[in-house]
Amino acid sequence: MKRNILFFSVLFALVGFIACEDEETVVGDPQLIVENNITAAHFGDSISFTTMVADDEVPLSTLKAQLFFGDEMVEETVIRTKTNGEYSGKIYVPFYKDIPNGTGRLKFVLQNIEFAIEEQSFEIALSRPDYPWITLVTADGDYKMEKVDEYRYAVTASFPQKVKGYIQTPTITDAGNEMTFGWASGEIKEGTDAEITFSSYVAGEYEIIFNTLTYAAGPFISLEFAGESMVMVNDDNFKVEADLDQEQIIEIDGIANLDEWWIDENYFVDNGDGTLTFKAIGGKYRVIANFIHEYFVVEAMNGNDLATLQQDGSGALWIIGDGIGKPSLDNQVGWNTDKALCMAQVSPMVYEVTVVAGESIDAGYINFKFFHQKGWGGEYTNEALSSDSNIVFVGNGENGRDPGNLGLVNEEPLIEGNKYTFRVDITGGINAAVLSVIQE
């Protein structure tokens, strides 16, 4: 019994010793005086501060200025404090979209090398700058945007159909910074001068607007294809992914010069009234309005992915290689898989592409082939593809073309200006595809 009492006495003494060792001991006496009377600032300001710091017992380590929106620290400035004395610095007030005016908290934390700290906090009224004007900066010159409402600015001038530029603000206080607003990650953001592409349906006099609170801006072309809104891919391309039916009448809104666009006859009939009739079999398609070449890129889809050729011959068939391009050879495919052409499936397992010699197909030289996907992978060689044409042959590796690559029979050129429809029929099976070339 005495042995147990002795054991527990030693144990409790040891635990007590360890507990004492774990207790934090504050060493030093940091002293902090913030000399500025900081009560208000604008978003986008750099707040200047001056402090007197000291610790007569332990060397100092750092002074931190921290800005809080609610409970979230949004900015911090750290200054090394090697000696007692005066230290000055600045802390930036972030400028964010849709943040209302309110009260922030500016906190100063002085710490010595033994981690003893002294803190002081101040409430600070934060508000969005009320600029008298802002500037639209373009390569062709600057445009002054006058204030027309709270946070809303506008300029009206004779502009081209597309205007590329960014927004820049003036400074309205000594603490202010010039703010820039540009295009990043598919939207307008602060802190960048990447160009925003404003666009109108036609060139001429129109208004460009920008809101420094919501970042709402315009104009931007609003496009609709078959009742669906097209979204911007980049400055020159807008896309929509939609289910389309064969013989569906498609209305297009937002393209003022649609009558000047090249219409792909494999996919559409131009009705001459601003509508198109869809010719390919029904299914889901990605349609891209390309404003550089002024035509619609059409690509078959399977769910959320581009379609691929299936074992039963359904799906999609793609063209990659030299001597062909849509709407013209100015946009030749070549061996760039990103530019692969999706052939129109005009009936189950029958695919077509129609070209014009000297315009969308090279009249004297072709060297392209058919692929199972938009990219490298499955492809047609002479083992699974034959030609019944006396115009185009399928390469076998010994006849002047690699296996599956197409060439002109006897190097006989196509007739300039004539139409040629390349048809691949897979109804006999995926390994028994037949190429026909129909000359109009």
For residue 257, what are the contacts with CB-CB under 8 A and spacing of at least 6?
294
**pLDDT for position 21:** 44
* Separation of first and last alpha carbons in the chain: 114
**pLDDT for position 234:** 82
**pLDDT for position 263:** 98
**pLDDT for position 24:** 57
31-127: in CATH 3.30.70.370:
no
Q: What is the CATH number of domain 221-307?
A: 2.60.40
- Same topology between domain 221-307 and domain 315-440: yes
User: Distance of alpha carbon 325 from its chain centroid, rounded?
Assistant: 26
Q: And the tokens for 301? A: 């889809």
CATH topology for 315-440? Immunoglobulin-like (2.60.40)
Q: For residues 401 and 392, is the Cβ–Cβ distance under 8 A? A: no
pLDDT for residue 381 is more than 70: yes
Q: For residues 406 and 391, is the Cβ–Cβ distance under 8 A? A: no
What are the domain boundaries of the chain?
31-127, 133-218, 221-307, 315-440
User: Distance of alpha carbon 49 from its chain centroid, rounded?
Assistant: 39
pLDDT tens-digit series, residues 167-178: 999 999 999 999
Give the DSSP letter string of 352-386. Answer: EEEEEBTTTB-SS--EEEEESSSSSS-B--TTTEE
pLDDT tens-digit series, residues 305-336: 999 999 999 999 999 999 999 999 999 999 99
Q: Is the pTM of this model over 0.85?
A: no
Mean pLDDT taken over the chain: 93
Radius of gyration of the chain (CA): 35
